Chain A
Amino acid sequence: MSVTISIQDLVKKYGESVVIPELSVEIQKGEFFTLLGPSGCGKTTLLRMIAGFNSIEGGTISFNDKVINNVEPGKRNIGMVFQSYAIFPHLTVKGNIAFGLQNRKMSKPEIAEKVEDILKVVQIEQFQDRMPKNLSGGQQQRVALARAIVIRPDVLLMDEPLSNLDAKLRIDMRNAIKEIQREVGITTVYVTHDQEEAMAVSDRIAVMKSGIIQHLGTPQEIYQRPANVFVATFIGRTNIVDATLKHEQGQYTLQLEQGYQEVIPNVRVPKANAQSSLAVKVSIRPEEFIMSEDQTGIQATIVHSVFLGQHTQYFVDLASGQRAEITQESQTAQLLSPGQTIYLKVKPDKINVYDAKGELNYTGSAQL
């Protein structure tokens, strides 16, 4: 059954251009592991290398210590769910699901039983004799999933399986996928560019850019302590501002605009960078701003506001001229109107402080 996937120094090249330079990662047994990144970051390429549909130009992929570089896709015992579903249009729902089992020299009653079981798991029993063209997108998705897991694969690979569904169905299906995965306990590698979807389903997420894993961690780590400015801006929304980090009497003080400063509790600066005064980049998420009552902090002017129900979003111009986004829990009072002046403070324990290039996080414990 379920396996550990270890990837060692994996290289993917197309001709001369290197798509993935020396990537290593260990995916735990039974883990729901997500590859997340913008298009072209190499996430689908990596997934298809695990599946065996893309060639490997260097390094190894192993399932439970067995190197599978030269094993044909059909012999890797994987289940794959494709972005386009790739349902066989000339076979019924049952025919699609039974296809993989028929390759495994099983008796007919045994196949029928397994198909029956899996139809229940993905809740499409009532459609079992339909042709795919008579199914909705969500139902086709369930067929694709059932077809992939009915063969009891060692690894389940999913390539943006929800990107063709509408928003509401996407949320229903991602919950269903998570539930089914937990139930069958298969090591799962999931590819998506949707960070919300990734956080909702994953045990761990690898955020990728240009074929390199930028941050590997749990959804919480990745959101709260992003490893660098790219991850901070890619996951959720944030404001990046320049600031100065002072190191005095064993504590770090962040100096923001207009003399506003806060003591940051959990800063760790590597010795190589250690100076009494450092230029830094600060990532402040919209909800990490506090509107100050006492007219201290960073002065800002409201540009416009968006009422979203639970929250209200404000776009403001900071005194420096930089545009920033802040989120507040909605109040019963009237919304702040454009032109109004407010003062902003930050939540010192939540914001993230990076080096001047935005490549190294000085805050928290999310260092890799």
Chain B
Amino acid sequence: MNRARRRFDIWTNISLLIFLFYIVFLALPLFTLLIKSFYNGTTGDFSLAYFVKFFSKPYYLNALFNSIKVTICVTLLAAVIATPLAYIMATVKIRGNSTIRILILISSMSAPFIGAYSWILLLGRNGVITKFVKSVFGFTMPDIYGFGGILLVLTLQMVPLIFMYVSGALKSVDQSLMEAAESMGYKGISKMRKVLLPLITPTLLAGGLLVFMRALADFGTPMLIGEGYRTVPVLIFNEFISEVGGDDGFAAAISVIVVIFATAVFLLQKSVSNRKSYTMSALNPIEAKSKKGIGNVLAHIVIYLYTLLALLPQLYVIYTSFLKTSGRIFVKGYSLDSYREAFDSIGSAIQNTFVLAISSLIIIILLAVLIAYVTVRRKNALTNTLDIFTMFPYIVPGSILGIALLVTFNHKPLVISGTAIIIIVSFVIRRLPYTIRSSAAILHQINGGIEEAAISLGASQMKTFFKITLPMMIAGVVSGAILSWVTIITELSTSIILYTAKTKTVTVAIYTEVIRGNYGVAAALSTILTVITVVSLLIFLKLTGQKEISM
């Protein structure tokens, strides 16, 4: 077989089709957004007016500055908290180790704004803890609204991500490396600083990037708890949604600035981490040992306390969902009223969520498997470009993608705004990377010789793929698909822009109920969402026999 023939087989057609999908639903919308940002909305002329407006008014620049400040603080704080936690879990035998890991995972799986509103219920002006402190100790606690609140909520939300990354990296560090360091006289802190920290640095950078992008893009948290503290996603949302004085073009311009900033950070991270990467595989991984005395007690206290803190917002939401309500106010006693009301008024949201999420998931699995295959096994210019396309959702905040899709597809030739299709497209584009990554990872582990063996035995390319490659990939595909699933059902920032009454999801419903102050219903819906999430995760853990999820 010569090269020219290999280049044009069935996989080329598949690559081209997927490529087309990305051109239409990712490249085109982002390009439309870019164009929009350079044209005056009223006169239709080319102009830099939006950018001038953004950079000349402190009001807008402050929002950008606020976003950067929040994002950097959250990323650093999450890394500083998560790394020692992961180290303790890796080296000290903690009672209930695997349960703790699952709980930490669950704490990261809810939509961040649910945490925000729960913390408002706890520490807000009328929060239970605030009131309790005031009545018992007679002083007013510091305000949770603004920068501090956003930092608290987002950090707690992001710590589990870095925790999981670092835990994975620690597993690949060979115990003998630590012993070698000790034999050369390094102990305690100096051992960690000189050996362990450099080894996990690439992982920290990867986890840090993920956290950075999420914190930068998060819209719900600053919206609820930020009050006067304005960040860019809030700004974009208001500019785009608000009916008075809102301006699509200006929203587009801000989006362009954010995407450029995010891309710069992304490229910076890549260039740093490329220089610092190692491949390690541990023959004797670091083992958690039973410690004695004060160290053991301290380790347990730290881990338990953190887990409790991370789960507190969700637990409190679940608790409030069973409180009796009168109108919008919680009153004494317990009842299932909130659930009744949730099902009565917005029961369709639950159905919508399932229909939209399942449809998206089917497409995601199909695309991810094919994309993983062509990018791993058929490397060429086309599939390399495809690989870059699939990374875009990491960089482009959800609300921006939502706006881009909306401004592109609300006019001919393709009008899908307001339909379920546009929501499914957004879910697919945004949540595809999880499944692609896990599918590609497992494909890297499958020896290419196995496929050649099948071909040498006379199987066609398609038969080889479906009978040999795919069955071997299943475990990886499933683990990524569950992550995609969980992140779809908790998705807010894109669907808040794209939804209509007919396509309202549970997450959007929770958000709107919280905004209306309808905390009882919001709590009931959140609890339902949490239950779905936890059940999904447990199925995943059961299916894969794993104790944690690697992202």
Find B459's partner among A51, A84, A99 (CB 8 Å cutoff).
A99
Residue numbers in A under 8 Å from B452 (CB-CB): 51, 53, 73, 80, 82, 86
Beta-carbon contact of B3 and A88 below 8 Å:
no
Beta-carbon contact of B460 and A74 below 8 Å:
yes
CA of A83 to CA of B3, assembled, Å: 24
Beta-carbon contact of B3 and A55 below 8 Å:
yes
Answer whether A70 and B457 are a contact pair too, CB < 8 Å, given A53-B452, A89-B472: no
Proximity string of chain A (43-79) to chain B, C-beta cutoff 8 Å, 1 when within and 0 when not: 0000000011101100000000000011111111111
Answer whether A51 and B2 are a contact pair too, CB < 8 Å, given A84-B447, A90-B471: no
Beta-carbon contact of A151 and B458 below 8 Å:
yes
Beta-carbon contact of A69 and B449 below 8 Å:
no
Beta-carbon contact of B1 and A72 below 8 Å:
yes
Residue numbers in B under 8 Å from A52 (CB-CB): 1, 456
Min distance, Cβ A67 to any Cβ of chain B, angstroms: 12
Does A104 count as interface, using CB distance less than 8 angstroms? yes
Beta-carbon contact of B458 and A103 below 8 Å:
yes
Does A345 count as interface, using CB distance less than 8 angstroms? no
Beta-carbon contact of A74 and B456 below 8 Å:
yes
Residue numbers in A under 8 Å from B458 (CB-CB): 74-75, 77, 100, 103-104, 151
Beta-carbon contact of A103 and B463 below 8 Å:
yes
Residue numbers in B under 8 Å from A100 (CB-CB): 457-459
Find B455's partner among A74, A77, A89, A151 (CB 8 Å cutoff).
A74
Residue numbers in B under 8 Å from A55 (CB-CB): 1-3, 6
User: Smallest CB-CB separation from B4: which chain A residue?
Assistant: A55
CA of A311 to CA of B417, assembled, Å: 86
Does B468 count as interface, using CB distance less than 8 angstroms? yes
Answer whether A99 and B455 are a contact pair too, CB < 8 Å, given A82-B449, A89-B472: no
Find B453's partner among A56, A86, A90 (CB 8 Å cutoff).
A86
Min distance, Cβ B186 to any Cβ of chain A, angstroms: 37
Does A147 count as interface, using CB distance less than 8 angstroms? yes
Taking CB atoms and an 8 Å cut-off, the chain A residues in 162-199 that contact chain B are none
Does B421 count as interface, using CB distance less than 8 angstroms? no
Number of interface residues of B (CB under 8 A): 22
Proximity string of chain B (3-14) to chain A, C-beta cutoff 8 Å, 1 when within and 0 when not: 101100000000
User: Smallest CB-CB separation from B451: which chain A residue?
Assistant: A86
CA of A80 to CA of B6, assembled, Å: 20
CA of A79 to CA of B2, assembled, Å: 20
Beta-carbon contact of B463 and A69 below 8 Å:
no
User: Smallest CB-CB separation from B453: which chain A residue?
Assistant: A86
Residue numbers in B under 8 Å from A147 (CB-CB): 453, 457
Min distance, Cβ A101 to any Cβ of chain B, angstroms: 8
User: Smallest CB-CB separation from B471: which chain A residue?
Assistant: A90
Min distance, Cβ B130 to any Cβ of chain A, angstroms: 58
Min distance, Cβ B143 to any Cβ of chain A, angstroms: 59
Beta-carbon contact of A74 and B457 below 8 Å:
yes
User: Smallest CB-CB separation from B447: which chain A residue?
Assistant: A84
Min distance, Cβ B285 to any Cβ of chain A, angstroms: 21
User: Smallest CB-CB separation from A98: which chain B residue?
Assistant: B457
Beta-carbon contact of A51 and B1 below 8 Å:
no
Taking CB atoms and an 8 Å cut-off, the chain B residues in 452-488 that contact chain A are 452-460, 463, 467-468, 471-472
Min distance, Cβ A278 to any Cβ of chain B, angstroms: 48
Min distance, Cβ B275 to any Cβ of chain A, angstroms: 26
Residue numbers in A under 8 Å from B468 (CB-CB): 88
Does B450 count as interface, using CB distance less than 8 angstroms? yes
User: Smallest CB-CB separation from B452: which chain A residue?
Assistant: A53
Min distance, Cβ A236 to any Cβ of chain B, angstroms: 31
Beta-carbon contact of A69 and B2 below 8 Å:
yes
User: Smallest CB-CB separation from A56: which chain B residue?
Assistant: B2
CA of A55 to CA of B452, assembled, Å: 14
Residue numbers in B under 8 Å from A80 (CB-CB): 452-453, 456
CA of A84 to CA of B452, assembled, Å: 12
CA of A104 to CA of B447, assembled, Å: 25
Beta-carbon contact of A90 and B3 below 8 Å:
no
User: Smallest CB-CB separation from A90: which chain B residue?
Assistant: B471
Residue numbers in A under 8 Å from B460 (CB-CB): 74
Beta-carbon contact of A86 and B450 below 8 Å:
yes
Taking CB atoms and an 8 Å cut-off, the chain A residues in 79-138 that contact chain B are 79-80, 82-84, 86-90, 99-100, 103-104
CA of A78 to CA of B471, assembled, Å: 25
Residue numbers in B under 8 Å from A90 (CB-CB): 471-472
Taking CB atoms and an 8 Å cut-off, the chain B residues in 248-279 that contact chain A are none
Min distance, Cβ B96 to any Cβ of chain A, angstroms: 32
The 3 lowest CB-CB distance pairs between A and B, nearest first, are A100-B457, A86-B449, A103-B458
10 contacting pairs across A/B (C-beta < 8 A)? A52-B456, A55-B6, A70-B1, A73-B455, A74-B457, A74-B458, A88-B450, A88-B453, A147-B457, A157-B456
Residues of A within 8 A of B (CB): 51-53, 55-56, 69-80, 82-84, 86-90, 99-100, 103-104, 144, 147-148, 151, 157
Given contacts A87-B450, A104-B458, A148-B456, 15 further A-B contacts (CB under 8 A): A53-B455, A71-B1, A73-B452, A74-B456, A74-B459, A75-B458, A76-B456, A77-B458, A78-B456, A80-B456, A82-B452, A86-B449, A86-B452, A88-B453, A103-B463
